[in-house]
Chain A
Amino acid sequence: MFNLWRVIGSVTALFVLAVPQSAQSAQSQAQIKAQAQVAPPQRVMSLNMCTDQLLLDLLPPSQITSVTFLSHSSPNAALAAQAAQVGINYGTAEEVLAQNPDLIISGDASTPTTRAMLARTGYRLYEVASSDNFDEIRQTTRELGIVLGEEKRAQELIVRMDATLNELMHSMPERQIRVVAWDGGGFVPGRGLLFNDILNVAGGINIAAADSNDYLVDFDLEELLRARPDLIAYASATLDAPALTTQLLQHPVVRRLYEDRQITYPDNLYICGSPQSADAAKDLRAAMLEAVAVMGRMR
């Protein structure tokens, strides 16, 4: 029987639950780090594509409860293979409750409601800041190593990354290769994004970043022509299915002038900073050099 008082009671309860609890019930980041010294987490869950990669590099599969579906279905075969060894989640609260991790790792862009909800339900959440350059990658990796109780492993990864970076720095091409990365919709990564750091280490320079300090810069065909980059770089995700961006590729001007001067890069490695970004820089160097060599031969 429909009971009015029961309904009122439920609605009131919902309101009470929805009110964010005070911060006292959430564990601070410092507390989490301290905890790891004593008892390293055994069941870690990642709710963010970028932290997925870091987690899979730092912890053995047995200690990882799940990573996001994005890694499981990533076009990057290596990442997908790693992810296949652990569980899967879609970033929902039900899964957190069901999988019952002892530590949740997420990016720093989760919504206040998610944070509040996790705090209220007593789960430990560690937020990892996104990295915009290799310095920040080092810092983040180190911190995450502490949180997971895997400082040694984190150090190994950083050392390897630095070795690759050094190698690249000491074998820079004669002149900087001028690149525009065309992400689609006329927007290109401007100064300040990880893409630029990776590109610089690989031996290139992002022309779009030259004029502005914005994160994303509007760059139409006229600008492209004026800037006369050596190469146009496309995020591979942009190209795998048709869209207005791919139509831009077929513009007669682009076809005529940049037919052989295009390279693609796997964008997930450029969005998410991790020690693997150094390898991405190495691959980028190889692709750029090859494209430029073709250009040289054609001239």
Chain B
Amino acid sequence: MRTNIPLNASLLVLLAALFFFSLLAGRVWIPPSDALNGLFASGSDLSEIIIFELRLPRAVLAVLIGASLGTAGAVLQGLTRNPLAEPFLLGVSAGASLGAVIAIYFGLAAVFSAATPLLGIAGAFVATSITFALGWGGGTLALILAGAAVSGLGGALIALSLNLAPNANAAYEIMNWLMGSLADRSWDHVFLVLPFVVIGGAILITTGRALDALSLGEAQAQSLGVDLLHLRLLVLFGTATAVGAATSVTGVIGFIGLVAPHLIRPWTGHQPSRVIIPAALAGAVLLLGADIATRIIRLGPELKLGVFTSLIGTPFFFWHVFKLRKTAP
């Protein structure tokens, strides 16, 4: 029986390399020796401070969030048996960003810092529920359209909230929310998000076996003992918790959840349960790579993450379209 061990190991090695590289990269490159020093001590040396207080939390966040997106994407695709399912396209991320925007710009986060991830989770939960309620049972098209509708509505409400916010400059920050950014994040953000990502991710991982049974369709899965309602609730809560919290500190990040599982699937025999953990690692690799790109490729102001994740995602869409055209009658 094949296992995932070689695949996971390779992904971990790649992730570790990127992680270290991420500490070196930025507008000013830091030599590797300083980087190693900075990892362990936050002294008063400038390079050490930059590594420990700025780049290290940023890299950790990229890994956490990329992993949560990859996991959620793999599980959503397994549940809906729809290759286009992922948090961004189903409107989950837009809902989460809306929750976070309300928390931050209307003063809730100032009172209670966990308000941001919690409202992000609530927003993600509501958005996912609406998408599923609208699009369930209508096939791929219905689900994607429902997701697009919820995403569009979420984006519009984000823009509205920013316009109504007390801070006059709020509207200019919209690009952060719609395109995602990891700039200037701190350890505060990491600890705010960590428990939710871990809990949500754990919930999602437990759905693996049921998703395998679901390969045979709902009737056969049910006959094999899968509680379909329970499964859907697990996916809903797991996705909302992990992606909701993650998006609340970064803004909307698209396509990672879409592409990571697809890259992994051929290596795991297409079996849903085997895709989950490697997809998490692949998601982490992709997002970390995108973040490094935003810091290395400078064309004036720092590019948003969404620029690079779209560069990853749209070729994927084209490839999918071509594939569909070939197999269509």
User: Using Cβ atoms and an 8 Å threshold, which residues of chain A touch B302?
Assistant: 186, 218, 220
- Total interface residues on A, CB under 8 Å, equals 27
**CB of B169 within 8 A of chain A?**
yes
Chain B interface (Cβ < 8 Å from any Cβ of A): 26-28, 46, 49-50, 53-54, 104-107, 109-110, 165-170, 172-173, 176, 183-184, 186-188, 300-302
Given contacts A186-B184, A242-B104, A251-B186, 4 further A-B contacts (CB under 8 A): A184-B172, A220-B184, A246-B167, A253-B53
* A-B interface pairs (CB < 8 A), number: 85
Q: Given A186-B301, A238-B169, A243-B169, is A225 in contact with B105 using a C-beta cutoff of 8 Å? A: no
**CB of A200 within 8 A of chain B?**
no
In Å, the complex CA distance between A221 and B28 comes to 12
- 13 example contacts (A-B, Cβ-Cβ < 8 A) are as follows A220-B302, A221-B184, A222-B50, A222-B54, A223-B27, A225-B49, A226-B50, A241-B165, A242-B104, A243-B104, A243-B170, A245-B169, A251-B188
User: Using Cβ atoms and an 8 Å threshold, which residues of chain B touch A240?
Assistant: 166-167
Instruction: Return the CB mask of A196-233 against B: 1 if under 8 Å, else 0.
Output: 00000000000000000000001011110110000000
User: Using Cβ atoms and an 8 Å threshold, which residues of chain A touch B170?
Assistant: 241, 243
Q: Given A241-B105, A241-B166, A251-B184, is A226 in contact with B176 using a C-beta cutoff of 8 Å? A: no
User: Using Cβ atoms and an 8 Å threshold, which residues of chain B touch A238?
Assistant: 167, 169
User: Using Cβ atoms and an 8 Å threshold, which residues of chain A touch B186?
Assistant: 251-253
**CB of A185 within 8 A of chain B?**
yes
In Å, the complex CA distance between A247 and B166 comes to 15
Report the minimum CB–CB distance from B110 to chain A (whole Å): 5
User: Using Cβ atoms and an 8 Å threshold, which residues of chain A touch B49?
Assistant: 225, 253
**CB of A248 within 8 A of chain B?**
yes
Task: Tell which of B28, B53, B169, B173 touches A226, judged by Cβ atoms closer than 8 Å.
Answer: B28
Instruction: Specify which of B109, B170, B302 lies most central, judged by the most chain A CB atoms within 10 Å of its CB.
Output: B170
Q: Given A218-B301, A220-B184, A223-B27, is A243 in contact with B173 using a C-beta cutoff of 8 Å? A: yes
**CB of A109 within 8 A of chain B?**
no
**CB of A244 within 8 A of chain B?**
yes
A2-38 with Cβ < 8 A to chain B: none
Report the minimum CB–CB distance from A261 to chain B (whole Å): 16
In Å, the complex CA distance between A149 and B93 comes to 59
User: Using Cβ atoms and an 8 Å threshold, which residues of chain B touch A248?
Assistant: 184
3 tightest Cβ-Cβ pairs between the two chains A and B: A241-B166, A241-B167, A243-B167
In Å, the complex CA distance between A292 and B173 comes to 31
User: Using Cβ atoms and an 8 Å threshold, which residues of chain A touch B183?
Assistant: 186, 220
Q: Determine the residue in chain A with the shortest Cβ distance to B170.
A: A243
**CB of A114 within 8 A of chain B?**
no
**CB of A250 within 8 A of chain B?**
yes
Query: Is the Cβ of B167 less than 8 Å from the Cβ of A242?
Result: yes
Query: Is the Cβ of B301 less than 8 Å from the Cβ of A237?
Result: no
Report the minimum CB–CB distance from B163 to chain A (whole Å): 13
Report the minimum CB–CB distance from A8 to chain B (whole Å): 36
Report the minimum CB–CB distance from B104 to chain A (whole Å): 6
In Å, the complex CA distance between A244 and B27 comes to 22
In Å, the complex CA distance between A184 and B110 comes to 17
Query: Is the Cβ of A253 less than 8 Å from the Cβ of B173?
Result: no
Q: Determine the residue in chain A with the shortest Cβ distance to B108.
A: A242
Instruction: Return the CB mask of A175-192 against B: 1 if under 8 Å, else 0.
Output: 000000001111100000
In Å, the complex CA distance between A280 and B46 comes to 34
Q: Determine the residue in chain B with the shortest Cβ distance to A221.
A: B184
Query: Is the Cβ of A242 less than 8 Å from the Cβ of B109?
Result: yes
Query: Is the Cβ of A252 less than 8 Å from the Cβ of B187?
Result: yes
In Å, the complex CA distance between A147 and B46 comes to 55
Query: Is the Cβ of A237 less than 8 Å from the Cβ of B169?
Result: yes
Query: Is the Cβ of A253 less than 8 Å from the Cβ of B54?
Result: yes
User: Using Cβ atoms and an 8 Å threshold, which residues of chain B touch A241?
Assistant: 105, 107, 165-168, 170
Q: Determine the residue in chain A with the shortest Cβ distance to B181.
A: A244
In Å, the complex CA distance between A113 and B187 comes to 50
In Å, the complex CA distance between A225 and B50 comes to 8
Q: Determine the residue in chain A with the shortest Cβ distance to B107.
A: A242
In Å, the complex CA distance between A252 and B176 comes to 21
Report the minimum CB–CB distance from B114 to chain A (whole Å): 14
In Å, the complex CA distance between A218 and B172 comes to 14
Query: Is the Cβ of A252 less than 8 Å from the Cβ of B53?
Result: yes
Report the minimum CB–CB distance from B91 to chain A (whole Å): 23
Task: Tell which of B165, B187, B188, B301 touches A243, judged by Cβ atoms closer than 8 Å.
Answer: B165
User: Using Cβ atoms and an 8 Å threshold, which residues of chain A touch B106?
Assistant: 242
Task: Tell which of A185, A225, A251, A252 touches B169, judged by Cβ atoms closer than 8 Å.
Answer: A185
In Å, the complex CA distance between A244 and B49 comes to 22
